[in-house]
Amino acid sequence: MEGNNDNDRKEIFSERVRAGKRTYFFDVKATRSNDYYLTITESKRRIKDDGYTYEKHKIFLYKEDFNKFLKAMNSAVDHVKNELLPEVDFDKFDRDREEAYQAKLNGATTESTTEESTTEDVSVTPESEPSSIENELKWD
């Protein structure tokens, strides 16, 4: 008997976003009838007795909900950016990330870059502590 397991579905496309202690996976998969859906997985590495374990949370998003999901997500993000935190330069996180990447390529480190500002799949481990505004933006 076949199980209804997500792992037996063919993966069509995958995008990984590293974000500090979390990694997000956006995976497009196909059903047996060649229909497509998206899984969004948040993976957090946790310290366990003799090593690490990964805590995962997954959302399944089907094509009929794509537009509604994007509209609601964009609305929520815009509300945070424009109404709750208008003083925050959200593009700075990307600039800091790029500076850290360039510094690593050049063999130097930057003090203003933090692990929490990681938004792309680039292996850089900044040495500095998160700034106060970055601590405020943590959601856990």
Query: What is the C-alpha to C-alpha distance for residues 94 and 124, in angstroms, rounded to an integer?
Result: 13
Q: What is the pLDDT of residues 58-67, one digit of tens each?
A: 999 999 999 9
128 pLDDT higher than 80: no
Domains belonging to the chain, first-starting first, are 7-73 (3.10.450.700), 87-140 (no CATH)
Q: Which two tokens stand for residue 116?
A: 């929490």
**pTM beyond 0.85:** no
| Exposure on the CB side of residue 37, measured as CA atoms within 13 A | 14
Q: What is the dihedral of CA 17, 90, 105, 25, to 10 degrees?
A: 0
Backbone angles phi, psi at 97, to 5 degrees: -65, -45
Q: Identify which of 35, 30, 42 has the alpha carbon closest to the alpha carbon of residue 64.
A: 35
